[in-house]
Structure 1
Amino acid sequence: MSALVFDAMLLAALLWSAARALTVRELFRAVVLFIVFGLLMALAWARLGAPDVALAEAAIGAGLSGALMLDTLGHLDRTGKGTP
């Protein structure tokens, strides 16, 4: 029973973080929410019994992509093009 509750909470968190990442106006918050979504997806893959996919999602989806987006955002802020 507790596993079902955890899975439901994980699903709700995935849907919330995906919706917020797409609708938030600040670029930094969108990138952070994208990283959070990637980490939650890695947890979901681990719960589904796919540890190889979970590790790839955490390393590439959340880690590498998130770091590249944060670096790009820093570059845009330095040039003044990152402000809406």
Structure 2
Amino acid sequence: MNKKVYRVRTQYIFDGVFDVVAKSREEARQKVIQNCGLVMGRNIHSTLSDDEINWAFDRHPNKRISRITKVQKYPSE
């Protein structure tokens, strides 16, 4: 059987909210950009204190596969 290598373009979309204590919309936006994120294989995280932030995210992301392309033949064994 001739195997081939395929590149599968995939997006994992986590949807949720960060409730942030801030003086303005722009400050709240900057706090999330600079202090919040997701590490692959880990957790959603924030470097802000618990007094400044709370969040709610679904643990299971939406998965979207958009394109599959053949890259090359699989090396024969």
TM-score, L = length of structure 2: 0.25
Q: If each structure's helix is expressed as a fraction of its own residues, which one has the higher value?
A: 1
Counting strand residues as a fraction of each chain, which structure ranks higher?
2
Higher RCO (CA 8 Å, separation ≥ 6 residues): 2
Q: TM-score, normalised by structure 1?
A: 0.24
Decide which structure has the larger Cα Rg and report it.
Answer: 2
